[in-house]
Amino acid sequence: MKICFLGAANEVTGSRTLLEVGGKYALVDCGMEQGPDVFENKLPPVRAGEIDYVFLTHAHIDHSGNLPLLYRQGFRGKIYATPETCNLCEILLRDSAHIQMMEAAEQTKKAKRRGEGPVLPLFDMADAEGALSLMVPYKYGRRVRVDEGIELRFTDIGHLLGSAAIELWLREGGIEKKIVFSGDIGNTNQPIIKDPQKIKETDYLVVESTYGDRLHEAGEDPIPALTEAISRTMKRGGNVIIPAFSVGRTQEMLYFIREIKEKRLIPDYPDFPVYVDSPLASEATAVFLQCDPDCFDQSTRDIMLRGQNPLYFEGLKLSVTTEESKGLNLDPTPKVIVSASGMCDAGRVRHHLKHNLWRPECLILFVGYQANGSLGRIILDGAPSVRLFGEQVRVRAEIARLQGTSGHADQTGLLDWIDGYESKPAQVFVNHGEHEVCQFFAGLLAQTRGLSAYAPYSGTFYDLALGEFIEMPSGIPVQKKARDIIKTRNQQVHQNLLEAVRELQTVAEGMRGMANKDLAKLTDQVLNLTRKWQK
């Protein structure tokens, strides 16, 4: 009965943790790195084909994004998640595969001009569809027997539609232990979704620490601030550009703007146009509106009971095609554009930044977390200019952050959720935070709550039955430059090849005793393949 920390270990993204119980292997989350990689991430000690289950906390790409890659590498087990998470993954994983394929095609064009071979995507649409076919939905609050020694329950953690803390009861050799994975703990009093629900008991706790060293603005209501931001930008004749994650934050912005419009809080510009420039966000909004109303908070349910759409208002327009997106920057009418990605590292928002960053009448309004090294953080930290599509663009627009919109609990929220446990966990593992924040929050839990808390690096092993560490490696820093991205991608694709070869070996070993003609046929196929590539 062991746990191995692989991703989001002293880092904010790429959540991935491996459990081993009675010869069965399960991953909790299988996320993609977003933004610069800080520490080397260890590969799982088992092949993808040997993993039996994935337990998914929520749909955000830094928690779910590498599920198609896992499928490509041979995983064919079950993926457990809430119904809402399954529905959001339907659009997010397909979108992620599309991005991988488009980026590989673009890099292949450049590689050909250099006389090099094609660049392969990490995974493709078939891998995304394959991963989605393995998803098994379970609602909050239901205790499910996953395997002989594994039971699971999802508890609403209030971070995103369908997000959950995962409770696991593990049994092996007559020993039973419970471990809870917090996933991303939500902020309180957010629109649309409920507040995080507390859990009473556990032996072990894995807790996130994104805002473990800071507090949100106390009692900040985002609607007055958003109203003022839009109003002053309209008066200047500029555009409000809101970089927002397609799933979660975009829907919150629509909720806020609906109220601004309904109450006519900007009387001088009551009909200001609003564009959601993201096909993915449009699909995600449809998922929000079609889910079980029990997932919503009381205010949102009240709006729906009045027969109103909580995410729609007059003047809202959706830009789906590339031509529609480009047209927004040709239209001089002052407007609000909500576009992905939330950290400005990809997507259509980069085009809107190129056309609006240099204009002093415009406003770039950040409404979510900006990771170190992301373009959003660089702009927010006051860079005088940034490079977009090969062009240096001067930053002259107003740059602001909307307070009160974080989807993560701050330090007080994290401590309050942990204080909900009626007895102290034997060991707390702190993950999903920047290096300094993970270390700080682990120390804070020890000093103020008397907890045994540790922020593990990738490759840390812990024996849950014995209650002791097996391996405690130090973090190995990564110095990754932009030109190393293709090299890193090729290394991952080569890892996929090695995984496939190991799968072939497993198949061959299992063919002992089969008919000679079948053995000879596979032998010929393998030899023909190897001879082809040896040439």
CB 27 within 8 A of CB 66: no
Residue 471's nearest CA partner among 42, 102, 40, 137 is 42
CATH number of 2-215+407-471: 3.60.15.10
CA distance 222 to 316: 20
Q: Name the residue with higher pLDDT: 371 or 118.
A: 118
pLDDT tens digits, residue range 10-69? 999 999 999 999 999 999 999 998 767 789 999 899 999 999 999 999 999 999 999 999
* Domain range list for the chain: 2-215+407-471, 222-401, 482-534
Q: DSSP code of 244? A: -
CA distance 325 to 349: 10
Q: What value does the mean pLDDT of the chain take?
A: 91
pLDDT tens digits, residue range 426-463? 999 999 999 999 999 999 999 999 999 999 999 999 99
- Of the pLDDT bands very low, low, confident and very high (cuts 50, 70, 90), residue 282 is confident
Specify burial of residue 205 (Cβ count, 10 A radius: 0-12, 13-18, 19+). Answer: buried
CA 373, 376, 378 angle in degrees (round to 5)? Answer: 55
pLDDT tens digits, residue range 198-221? 999 999 999 999 999 999 876 568
pLDDT of residue 482: 42
State mean pLDDT over 214-239. 90
CA 428, 433, 438 angle in degrees (round to 5)? Answer: 50
pLDDT of 480 > 60? The answer is no
pLDDT of 483 > 70? The answer is no
pLDDT of 2 > 50? The answer is yes
Query: What contacts 442, CB < 8 A, 6 or more positions away?
Result: 209, 428, 430, 453, 454, 455
pLDDT of 399 > 70? The answer is yes
pLDDT of residue 485: 47
pLDDT of 295 > 70? The answer is yes
222-401: what fold? Rossmann fold (3.40.50)
Query: What ranges make up the beta strands (E) of 23-111?
Result: 24-30, 53-55, 78-81
pLDDT of residue 494: 63
Q: Name the residue with higher pLDDT: 530 or 113.
A: 113
CA distance 30 to 122: 14
Is residue 57 classed as helix, strand or coil in its secondary structure? Answer: coil
- pTM equals 0.85
Residue 64 CB neighbours (<10 A): 28
pLDDT winner (highest mean) among 5-14, 35-44, 492-501: 5-14
Residue 78, strand partner residues: 53
pLDDT tens digits, residue range 350-359? 999 999 999 9
